[in-house]
Amino acid sequence: MNALCHERRRGVFITLEGPDGSGKSTQVRLLADRLRKCGIEPLITREPGGTRTGEQIREILQHDRTGEALVPEAETFLFLAARAQLVQTIIRPALQEGRWVVSDRFMDSTVAYQGYGRGLGAEIIERMNAWAVGDAIPDLTILLDLEPTEGLARIGPRNRANGCEADRLEREALAFHERIREGYLALAARYPKRICLLDARNGLDGISQRIWTLVEERFGYGLG
Ligand code: TYD
């Protein structure tokens, strides 16, 4: 077949990033399908999650059963705890075996969501990330960029049951997602070699093709 880097000693680590509603998860699936067609069985993972501990942490983060709102710092430590577990038990061993790893979200999400969205600041989050991931830095990050208004529309209308309250929540949600986008764009400017920005408004197939072209350019020596 082709030689999508079977001979590399370290595997290839690709992450997909973007706001909720940007279509990342679909693109992770399409990329995995394409890799399989080339004879490569990628390890697919997602954040938060990807390990048993990580999935439990995901539960705490997403289905708050305590009725207690998590403070941003606690939320950040939970994302970082899930990430450290995922890197040490799954991602790093897979890369050391030469495997391809594709992750639906990774370290950039925390900079965008907690650093910018929650206002904790990028610098502290980048330091925490460095501590949690060590050398497991993605080789390529695809950032699907989308206007917050469009992303929010795609993930469905919020509960409008009680008018003013819903309006306020929507405005807050919009401002939060605008900060997240600002964070992602700042990351793309800061790490232009690693992070490739793609317009999430291009159709599924267009984006999938663009991602594949990037993968071929970067890692597909001799791929026909
Ligand atoms: P998920 O259902 O996986 O959403 P998506 O399909 O958009 O990825 O939920 C993950 C949510 O967690 C998403 O809103 C982004 C957020 N998140 C952070 O706030 N910080 C992080 O470090 C990560 C990994 C995710």
Q: pLDDT tens-digit profile of 116-161?
A: 999 999 999 999 999 999 999 999 999 999 999 888 888 765 545 5
- Per residue in 44-71, pLDDT (tens digit) is 999 999 999 999 999 999 887 788 889 9
- Rounded Cα distance between 212 and 176, Å, is 31
**Does ligand 1 lie within 6 Å of residue 116's CB atom?**
no
- Rounded Cα distance between 78 and 63, Å, is 14
- Per residue in 180-221, pLDDT (tens digit) is 999 999 999 999 999 999 999 999 999 999 999 999 999 986
Closest to 117 measured CA to CA, from 70, 200, 175 = 175
Shortest-distance atom of ligand 1 to CA 79: 22
SS3 assignment, position 3: coil
Q: Which pLDDT band holds residue 1 (cuts at 50, 70, 90)?
A: very low
Tell me how far the alpha carbon of residue 114 is from its chain's centroid: 13
Q: Count of alpha carbons within 13 Å of 95, Cβ hemisphere only?
A: 20
Question: Which of 16, 20, 28, 104 for mutating ligand 1's site (highest number of atoms within 8 Å of CB)?
Answer: 20
Work out the mean pLDDT of the chain and round it to a whole number.
91
Residue of the nearest CA to atom 21 in ligand 1? 110
Q: What's the one-letter identity of residue 136?
A: A
Question: Which of 55, 59, 109 for mutating ligand 1's site (highest number of atoms within 8 Å of CB)?
Answer: 109
**Does ligand 1 lie within 6 Å of residue 76's CB atom?**
no
Q: What's the one-letter identity of residue 167?
A: D
End-to-end distance of the chain based on CA atoms, in angstroms? 9
Q: Which pLDDT band holds residue 4 (cuts at 50, 70, 90)?
A: low
Is pTM beyond 0.85? Reply is: yes
- Rounded Cα distance between 15 and 196, Å, is 11
